[in-house]
Amino acid sequence: MHPSEVLFQGKRQPLLLPACDHYAGSEKLMRKSMALQQELGPVFDITFDCEDGAAAGSEAGHAALVASLLNSEDNRFNRIGARVHEPGSPHFEHDVATIVGAAAPRLAFVMLPKVSSAMEVARAIDLINQHAAPSGRSDLPVHVLIETHGALREAYDIAALPQVESLSFGIMDFVSAHYGAIPAGAMRTPGQFTHPLVVRAKLEMVAACHAHGKVPSHNVTTDIKDSAIVANDAQRAAAEFGFTRMWSIHPDQIKAILKAFTPRLSEVNEATNILSEAMAAGWGPIAHHGRLHDRASYRYYWTVLQRAKLAGLALPEAAAAIVNHTEAS
């Protein structure tokens, strides 16, 4: 039996997504990001931005452009999503009708910003499904930005919705929603990792995601000139807060984010050795280097291999055999 059968009996397997979600708003940047994805492969996602990407008065044309790019041959891996306007915007329904209606089969996900409740997300999903249905797409993934008090309060309920695949933390809107009670410094490092209200918000959102097997995505690093800053932010988001994905707003940030979230080779080798012994033992308990391992730790090490594969890391032969056995079974 392969890991997904043995290790997750009666449980939903956790969703895994590429560790970087790269945002692009203008046509120039959208085309540039697609070219970079073709070069590097589907190791990062792209989100075409209608909320902040469209010039005032050009919202309809921008949505049409997004749909056309999604349907183009440059969308080689079908790993591009779209952030539409917020559900309360007069442009929201048009965005969904234009983008989902024309490109649902090629669309990786729809990102919903500035939601205030799980009910609002559910209503938005109903509209998305209505426009996706004619193309036969009934399960289009939805990502949700947690950036309002209401969304944070209902993060667990939002993460529980079946079509919701990921929650992202919108730090700038969240801090701004406190009208000066949280200083501007909390929008960036080090304040974003130390201010109690921001720390609380991040941890609650991450906990909601992991409780339902969904993907928590960290906010952007606004400093686009210093790669060390984004690397540090990504490392802290992963190691200290449990995020498994992070936004990028500049192409130079992508590789730093991927490196921070990709398991180290030593971790991959350890996972390979432990899972190989576990398979040989019929997934019963084993002792590895004097330490007991059972199905609880096997789930962890199985996820290490899945994350490494998703990041495009060259796996050892034994690890590739485990992963391929999983996929083939």
Gap between the Cα atoms of 230 and 228, Å rounded: 6
Place of tokens 């928590």: 216
Q: Which residues contact 74 (CB under 8 A, 6 or more apart)?
A: 31, 34, 35, 38
Q: Mean pLDDT, the chain, as a whole number?
A: 93
Q: Which residues contact 201 (CB under 8 A, 6 or more apart)?
A: 146, 152, 169, 174
In this prediction, what percent of the chain has a pLDDT beyond 70? Answer: 97
**pLDDT tens digits, one per residue of 98-156:** 999 999 999 999 999 999 999 999 999 999 999 999 999 999 999 999 999 999 999 99
Per-domain boundaries in the chain: 20-261, 264-328
Q: List the structure tokens of 69.
A: 């790019």
Between the alpha carbon of residue 71 and those of residues 60, 65, 68, 279, 298, the distances in Å are 17, 10, 5, 43, 40
**pLDDT tens digits, one per residue of 230-266:** 999 999 999 999 999 999 999 999 999 999 999 999 9
pLDDT of 320 higher than 80: no
pLDDT of 40 higher than 90: yes
pLDDT of 10 higher than 50: yes
Q: What band does 1 get if pLDDT is binned at 50, 70 and 90?
A: low
**pLDDT tens digits, one per residue of 56-90:** 899 999 999 999 999 999 999 999 999 999 999 99
Q: Kindly report the backbone phi and psi dihedral angles of residue 291, in degrees, each rounded to the nearest multiple of 5, phi listed first.
A: -120, 140
Gap between the Cα atoms of 228 and 113, Å rounded: 28
Q: Number of C-alpha atoms within 13 angstroms, CB side, residue 130?
A: 11
- Residue 325's pLDDT is 57
Q: Kindly report the backbone phi and psi dihedral angles of residue 218, in degrees, each rounded to the nearest multiple of 5, phi listed first.
A: -80, 155
pLDDT of 7 higher than 90: no
Q: What is the mean pLDDT of residues 283-309?
A: 92
Q: What band does 329 get if pLDDT is binned at 50, 70 and 90?
A: very low
Question: Which 8-state DSSP code applies to residue 12?
Answer: P
Looking at domain 20-261, which of 3.40.30.10, 3.20.20.60, 3.30.110.70, 3.40.50.2000 is its CATH number? 3.20.20.60
What type of residue sits at position 143?
A: H
